[in-house]
A = this chain, B = another copy of it.
Amino acid sequence: MRARVVVLPRPDILDPQGRAVGHALASLGFGGVQGVRVGRVIDVDLDDRLDRALAAAQVDAMARELLANPVIEDFAVEWPAG
C-alpha cells in the first residue's frame, strides 16, 4: 500500500520559495495568481501485509520524526489507492 505525506510550510511561516514561484508565474504572464506555497510530497510504499491501522500510526511517526519539521511545517497523510 502507498501512503502520501504532504508537507507544507505552516500558514504563519514565510515561504520564500512560494513567493519566488509566484513572481516567476507573474513574469511568465499568468494572471489571477493570489498566492503560492511550495512544499514536499513523500510517497512511501509499505508492505501490504502490514495492518492498515498500524501502517497509519507508523507513517504518522515517520512524518513527525523525519519527513516534516513540526516547528515550521504542517503535514497530512493521504492514502491515494483508497
Contacts and interface: CB of A to CB of B under 8 A. Distances in A.
B58 A42 contact: no
Contact of A33 (B30, B31, B44): B44
B41 A45 contact: no
A65 interface: yes
Contacts of A61: 30
Interface residues of A, number: 35
Interface of A: 6-8, 18, 21, 24-25, 28, 30-47, 49-50, 55, 58, 61-62, 65-67
6 contacts: A18-B42, A30-B62, A31-B47, A33-B45, A39-B43, A40-B40
